Chain A
Amino acid sequence: MAHAEGQQHPISLYLKIWGLLFILSTLSYLVDYFHFTGYFRWTMIIVLMLLKAGLIVSIFMHMAWERLAMIYAILVPPLCLLVLVGLMFAEANYVFFTRGLFLGQ
């Protein structure tokens, strides 16, 4: 809230988030460095990505202190994109299947 004087938070909060983002990025780099594979790799990539995105949006972009009406207006529409991800996932699988059929793989 605190709209009278804008977003006022102690600098130490930003420094802590900065440090945390550094640690999370290092961890996601290590996932590749140590050549993890399979479901462990994919889970780690997604979890670390979502943690970083959450920290940036909620603290750096001050979303945690906005009105709920605005939070919903901004965060709900991108969920529609998940439908598109699902549709394109099915479509890509189908294209791959027909390519295999016609290219004789």
Chain B
Amino acid sequence: MSTGQNPSTWQAVVQDWSSDRDAFKGVPWGKAMMWIFLLSDTFIFTCFLIGYMSVRMSTTATWPNPSEVFALTIGGRSIPLILIAIMTFVLITSSGTMAMAVNYGYRRDRVRCALLMLTTAALGATFVGMQAFEWSKLIGEGVRPWGNPMGAAQFGASFFMITGFHGMHVSVGVIYLCTVAFKVLRGDYEKRGNYQIVEIAGLYWHFVDLVWVFIFAFFYLW
């Protein structure tokens, strides 16, 4: 600690910010940059959600009931939002395996780290697959970005925009995780003696899960 102060005090914050360089002392650059990228992504996702709030509030047409729109009929019984609930659990589980992968990375347990990352990627791919199923089902029922048979046209626009952008993030994350897992297995980080990249990839993955928490609450439950 170059300031010689407890980093969780106000004085430490002032010292960090008033120094000419290295505002985040001891925080690796890669990690700070990933956080700043995620901050920018937060703004984009929030703008989408705010746009959705505006169109939902201002439309005079009836908003479709998500509870019914996303219900699945299983065994002759219609269960509300069941697919979305399963998708949520899949994504949370993937966050858990990712957190453990970071831990095994720092412990230099290469094989366990890579296996947990690949499990995470597989769960992410499962999520995207279920989303593809959800999209096909809704497209089959006539939902389009410019209209739908259940009510307000804005529902289709918000649905494809928000879930599509999130699904793209998950897909990119799957590729990202597979790449890093491959490099872990090959021993790239062992040579460098630094497994920080696993944690940075983890930050991205947890963020994707975090965004889903908000989409689940505002789009599917509200």
Residues of chain A having any CB pair with chain B under 8 Å: 1, 3, 5-9, 11, 14-15, 17-18, 21-22, 25, 28-29, 31-33, 35, 42, 45-46, 48-49, 52-53, 56-57, 59-62, 66-70, 72-74, 77-78, 81, 84-85, 88-89, 91-93, 95-96, 99-100, 103, 105
Contact = CB atoms under 8 A, between A and B. Distances in A.
A56 B196 contact: no
Contacts, number: 169
A24 B60 CA distance: 34
B118 interface: no
B64 interface: no
Which A-B residue pairs are the 4 nearest by beta carbons?
A: A18-B96, A69-B16, A92-B57, A95-B58
Given A7-B102, A21-B92, 12 more contacts: A3-B27, A18-B99, A25-B85, A28-B216, A32-B80, A33-B81, A52-B213, A60-B98, A60-B99, A74-B38, A78-B43, A85-B50
Contacts of B60: 96, 99-100, 103, 105
Nearest to B92: A21
A85 B53 contact: yes
Interface residues of B, number: 66
Given A7-B103, A69-B12, A15 B24 contact: no
A48 B217 CA distance: 9
Interface stretch (B125-133, B160-168, B173-181, B203-211): B203-211
B26 A67 contact: yes
